[in-house]
Structure 1
Amino acid sequence: MSDKMVTVLRRQFDPTVEMLKNLIEVCPDDFWMDPKQKYWKQIFHATTSMKFWFRQQKDEEFMIPDFGKDVIEDLDKECSDYPTKGEMTKYVEDILSVARAFFDELTDGRLLEPCVLYEEITKTDVILMQIRHVQHHIGYCNNILNTNHLETVKWL
C-alpha cells in the first residue's frame, strides 16, 4: 500500500526544516550574538516545539537543552548567553532525526490516530501545527534579517 498522504506531508515538512537550518547559516556571527535581536531564540523555540510534539511515547522525558549556558527557549525571558551557531545546527539535526522517526512510524491509515500527548489532536494535526509554527518563526527571522538589510532565507 502506498502512503501518499504521508509522502505529501514529508514533502512539506522537509523544506520547512531546511529553511530553519538555512537561517542559522545566513546569520552573521555578530548578529547571532546580539541579545536585542533574539534571532537565535526564534530558532531555538521552534526547534524545541518540534522536540516536544514529535515524541513517540507520552512518558518520554522532555528536556530542553541549555547547552551548559544560561539559555532558555521561552521567547519572553532574558538569557545572559546563547548557543553557538554550531550548537544550534546540531540541535536542529538532532530534532530532525526525532521528526523523521515520527514520520517513519506513520502510514496513511494512522494519520488520524490521536497523538501520544493529547487524544483530541491527531498525528496529522501535529505535523501541520509544526509546519505552521516553524514557518511562522522563519518569517519572523527573515523579517529581522530584512529589517537589518541582511540576506534573507529563500522559501523552498
Structure 2
Amino acid sequence: MDNSHVKILKRSFDPSLEMLRVLVEKCPDDLWLYDKVGFPFWQQIWHVAFFIDYWLREDYSRGAEYRVMTFDKDLPVELHRRSEEHLTKEEAAEYLRRLQEKADRFFSSLDDARLLEPIVEGRPMTYLDVIIGQIRHVQYHVGHGNCILKSKGAETSGWLAFAEG
C-alpha cells in the first residue's frame, strides 16, 4: 500500500466528495430549492463545488483558468446572496463528476515535498492547507445537507469511512 502523504490525503478527500455526490442524488426534488435554513439546498452544493474547483488547481496565478464547468446563469457562490436561477440536480451531478476527475489530476500532480510548498510564492498557504481546508469545507456542507434531509424524513448520504470513496 502506498502510504505517501498525498495518497493518505486523497483517501480522505475522495470519500468526502463522494458523500457530496450522494447528497445530491438523495435529495428529493421538492427539497432541492428548499431555503428555510438560511440558504437553498442547491446553493450549498454549488458553493462547495465551486470552491473545490477554485482551490484544487495546479496554477494559482492571477487570471489562470481553473473552471472545469461553467454555467450561463446567475449562480452566486456567496451564501448570503439569492438568485432567481438555480443549479439543477443534473448539472450538480455532472459538475461533481468533473470535479472528481480534476481532483484525480490535481492529486497525481503532487508529491509529498510539494504538499509543503506555498501555492503562491511568498504566501503562507500550502497545498496541504488547501487540501485539508477542502475536506473540512465539504464535510461541513455534507453535514448541513444531511441534517436537512433527515429533518424532512429523507434518506441521507450516509458516511463513507476510510478509503471507501
1:79 aligns with 2:71: no
Q: What TM-score does the superposition give when structure 2 sets the normalisation length?
A: 0.84
1:68 aligns with 2:84: no
Report how many residues are paired.
Answer: 155
Structure 2 residues not aligned, in runs of 5+: 161-165
Give the residue type in structure 1 aligned to 2:29: D
* Stretch deviating more after TM superposition (99-108 or 125-134): 99-108
Matched residue SS, 2:73: coil
Overall identity of the aligned pairs, in %? 40
Measure, in 1, the Cα distance between the counterparts of 2:3 and 2:27: 37
How many Å apart are 1:46 and its aligned residue? Answer: 0.6
Q: 1:90 to 1:97 in 2, by over 3 A?
A: same
Task: Specify the alignment match of 1:123 in structure 2.
Answer: 127
1:49 aligns with 2:56: no
Task: Specify the alignment match of 2:157 in structure 1.
Answer: 153
Give the residue type in structure 2 aligned to 1:23: L
Give the residue type in structure 1 aligned to 2:155: E
Measure, in 1, the Cα distance between the counterparts of 2:113 and 2:66: 27
Task: Specify the alignment match of 1:11 in structure 2.
Answer: 11
Structure 1 residues not aligned, in runs of 5+: none
Matched residue SS, 2:78: coil
8 Å contact 2:68–2:102 — kept in the other structure? no
Cα-Cα RMSD: 2.1
Picking from 106, 110, 114, the partner of 2:114 is 110
How many Å apart are 1:65 and its aligned residue? Answer: 6.3
How many Å apart are 1:87 and its aligned residue? Answer: 0.5
8 Å contact 1:23–1:138 — kept in the other structure? yes
How many Å apart are 1:98 and its aligned residue? Answer: 2.1
How many Å apart are 1:34 and its aligned residue? Answer: 3.3
Cα deviation 1:98-139 (Å, max 9, x = unaligned): 222210111112211111487201111110000001100000
